[in-house]
Amino acid sequence: MKKKPSYMEKNSTQTLQEGLDEYYQFNPHVTDPATQPSDFGRILRAHDVGHVIYSCDTGMHDELKILPLFWWTSECTFQTYLKMKNSPAVDVMYEDMIQEKGSLWLYGTILKVLPGVLVELIPIWFKTRNRRKLLPFLEFEPLLHRSLLDIREEFELLPLIR
Protein backbone atom coordinates (compact mmCIF):
# COMPACT_ATOMS: atom_id res chain seq x y z
CA MET A 1 0.00 0.00 0.00
CA LYS A 2 1.35 3.40 -1.02
CA LYS A 3 2.05 5.84 1.81
CA LYS A 4 -0.24 8.88 1.88
CA PRO A 5 1.69 12.13 1.32
CA SER A 6 1.85 14.46 4.35
CA TYR A 7 0.23 17.35 2.48
CA MET A 8 -2.89 15.20 2.11
CA GLU A 9 -3.33 15.12 5.89
CA LYS A 10 -6.00 17.62 6.85
CA ASN A 11 -3.98 19.12 9.72
CA SER A 12 -0.56 18.99 8.03
CA THR A 13 1.92 21.45 9.53
CA GLN A 14 4.43 21.24 6.70
CA THR A 15 4.90 24.42 4.69
CA LEU A 16 3.20 24.90 1.36
CA GLN A 17 6.64 24.69 -0.31
CA GLU A 18 7.36 21.38 1.46
CA GLY A 19 3.94 20.11 0.40
CA LEU A 20 4.53 21.19 -3.19
CA ASP A 21 7.93 19.44 -3.23
CA GLU A 22 6.28 16.30 -1.86
CA TYR A 23 3.46 16.59 -4.43
CA TYR A 24 5.98 16.54 -7.28
CA GLN A 25 7.86 13.66 -5.65
CA PHE A 26 4.67 11.56 -5.30
CA ASN A 27 3.42 12.51 -8.77
CA PRO A 28 6.31 12.20 -11.24
CA HIS A 29 3.76 11.97 -14.09
CA VAL A 30 2.65 15.57 -13.49
CA THR A 31 3.91 18.04 -16.08
CA ASP A 32 6.72 20.19 -14.69
CA PRO A 33 5.52 23.80 -14.98
CA ALA A 34 9.11 24.91 -15.69
CA THR A 35 9.02 22.98 -19.00
CA GLN A 36 6.03 24.95 -20.29
CA PRO A 37 5.63 28.43 -21.79
CA SER A 38 5.77 30.90 -18.89
CA ASP A 39 2.07 31.91 -18.88
CA PHE A 40 0.87 28.32 -18.98
CA GLY A 41 3.59 27.18 -16.54
CA ARG A 42 2.34 29.78 -14.08
CA ILE A 43 -1.23 28.43 -14.34
CA LEU A 44 0.00 24.84 -13.99
CA ARG A 45 2.00 25.69 -10.86
CA ALA A 46 -1.01 27.48 -9.33
CA HIS A 47 -3.10 24.39 -10.10
CA ASP A 48 -0.48 22.18 -8.42
CA VAL A 49 -0.44 24.49 -5.39
CA GLY A 50 -4.23 23.99 -5.24
CA HIS A 51 -3.76 20.22 -5.13
CA VAL A 52 -1.57 20.68 -2.05
CA ILE A 53 -3.70 23.29 -0.27
CA TYR A 54 -7.02 21.51 -0.93
CA SER A 55 -5.48 18.08 -0.15
CA CYS A 56 -6.41 16.66 -3.55
CA ASP A 57 -4.68 13.83 -5.36
CA THR A 58 -4.30 13.54 -9.14
CA GLY A 59 -7.05 10.96 -9.74
CA MET A 60 -10.05 11.93 -11.84
CA HIS A 61 -12.31 12.38 -8.77
CA ASP A 62 -10.09 15.05 -7.25
CA GLU A 63 -9.29 16.63 -10.64
CA LEU A 64 -13.01 17.20 -11.14
CA LYS A 65 -13.43 18.40 -7.56
CA ILE A 66 -10.54 20.89 -7.56
CA LEU A 67 -11.94 23.21 -10.23
CA PRO A 68 -15.13 24.07 -8.30
CA LEU A 69 -13.02 24.43 -5.13
CA PHE A 70 -10.94 27.05 -6.94
CA TRP A 71 -14.05 28.80 -8.31
CA TRP A 72 -15.77 28.97 -4.94
CA THR A 73 -12.85 29.67 -2.57
CA SER A 74 -10.09 31.38 -4.55
CA GLU A 75 -9.43 34.34 -6.82
CA CYS A 76 -9.77 31.92 -9.77
CA THR A 77 -13.44 32.40 -10.57
CA PHE A 78 -15.30 30.48 -13.26
CA GLN A 79 -14.88 33.49 -15.57
CA THR A 80 -11.11 33.53 -14.91
CA TYR A 81 -11.00 29.81 -15.67
CA LEU A 82 -12.80 30.31 -19.00
CA LYS A 83 -10.24 32.96 -20.02
CA MET A 84 -7.32 30.69 -19.06
CA LYS A 85 -8.94 27.70 -20.76
CA ASN A 86 -8.78 29.50 -24.10
CA SER A 87 -4.98 29.28 -24.00
CA PRO A 88 -3.40 27.21 -26.82
CA ALA A 89 -1.17 25.57 -24.17
CA VAL A 90 -4.26 24.28 -22.32
CA ASP A 91 -5.58 22.82 -25.57
CA VAL A 92 -2.27 20.99 -26.03
CA MET A 93 -2.55 19.55 -22.50
CA TYR A 94 -6.02 18.11 -23.19
CA GLU A 95 -4.95 16.84 -26.62
CA ASP A 96 -1.92 15.12 -25.05
CA MET A 97 -4.12 13.44 -22.42
CA ILE A 98 -6.55 12.21 -25.07
CA GLN A 99 -3.69 11.00 -27.26
CA GLU A 100 -2.07 9.17 -24.32
CA LYS A 101 -5.21 7.59 -22.81
CA GLY A 102 -7.86 7.97 -25.50
CA SER A 103 -11.05 10.01 -25.48
CA LEU A 104 -13.12 6.96 -24.54
CA TRP A 105 -11.00 6.48 -21.40
CA LEU A 106 -11.15 10.19 -20.50
CA TYR A 107 -14.90 10.64 -20.90
CA GLY A 108 -15.68 7.18 -19.53
CA THR A 109 -13.67 7.93 -16.39
CA ILE A 110 -15.36 11.30 -15.99
CA LEU A 111 -18.82 9.73 -16.26
CA LYS A 112 -17.84 6.99 -13.81
CA VAL A 113 -16.69 9.34 -11.03
CA LEU A 114 -18.94 12.35 -11.67
CA PRO A 115 -21.89 11.18 -9.51
CA GLY A 116 -19.62 10.80 -6.45
CA VAL A 117 -17.98 14.16 -7.12
CA LEU A 118 -21.37 15.88 -7.34
CA VAL A 119 -22.51 14.29 -4.06
CA GLU A 120 -19.35 15.66 -2.41
CA LEU A 121 -19.57 19.11 -4.06
CA ILE A 122 -23.19 19.95 -3.16
CA PRO A 123 -22.53 20.45 0.58
CA ILE A 124 -19.25 22.22 -0.24
CA TRP A 125 -21.13 24.68 -2.43
CA PHE A 126 -23.43 25.55 0.47
CA LYS A 127 -20.43 26.00 2.80
CA THR A 128 -18.63 28.30 0.36
CA ARG A 129 -21.38 30.70 -0.59
CA ASN A 130 -20.78 34.39 0.15
CA ARG A 131 -17.06 33.98 0.95
CA ARG A 132 -15.24 37.19 1.67
CA LYS A 133 -11.66 35.97 1.99
CA LEU A 134 -10.43 34.28 -1.17
CA LEU A 135 -7.30 32.19 -1.53
CA PRO A 136 -4.77 33.74 -3.94
CA PHE A 137 -4.52 31.80 -7.19
CA LEU A 138 -1.66 33.10 -9.34
CA GLU A 139 -0.14 35.20 -6.56
CA PHE A 140 0.42 32.34 -4.11
CA GLU A 141 4.16 32.93 -3.48
CA PRO A 142 3.65 34.74 -0.13
CA LEU A 143 2.04 31.53 1.17
CA LEU A 144 4.94 29.20 0.29
CA HIS A 145 6.64 29.42 3.70
CA ARG A 146 3.45 29.18 5.76
CA SER A 147 2.12 25.92 7.14
CA LEU A 148 -0.70 24.21 5.31
CA LEU A 149 -2.73 24.12 8.51
CA ASP A 150 -2.32 27.89 8.91
CA ILE A 151 -3.37 28.53 5.30
CA ARG A 152 -6.33 26.16 5.55
CA GLU A 153 -7.47 27.82 8.78
CA GLU A 154 -7.06 31.39 7.50
CA PHE A 155 -9.04 30.74 4.33
CA GLU A 156 -11.60 28.51 6.11
CA LEU A 157 -10.77 25.43 4.04
CA LEU A 158 -10.59 22.79 6.79
CA PRO A 159 -14.35 22.02 6.68
CA LEU A 160 -13.98 21.31 2.93
CA ILE A 161 -11.19 18.74 3.29
CA ARG A 162 -11.96 15.08 4.02
Nearest to 152 by CA among 4, 5, 3, 7: 7
pLDDT value of residue 107: 87
Those residues with Cβ within 8 angstroms of residue 69's Cβ, 6 or more apart along the chain or in another chain: 50, 54, 56, 124, 160
Burial of 109 (0-12, 13-18, 19+ CB in 10 A): middle
HSE of 47, CA atoms in CB hemisphere, 13 A: 23
Asked whether 2 and 10 are in contact (CB, 8 A), the reply is no
pLDDT tens digit sequence for 3-34: 889 999 999 999 999 999 999 999 998 888 89
- pLDDT above 80 (res 97): no
Residue 88 pLDDT level (bands cut at 50, 70, 90): low
Domain residue ranges of the chain, discontinuous segments joined by +: 6-160
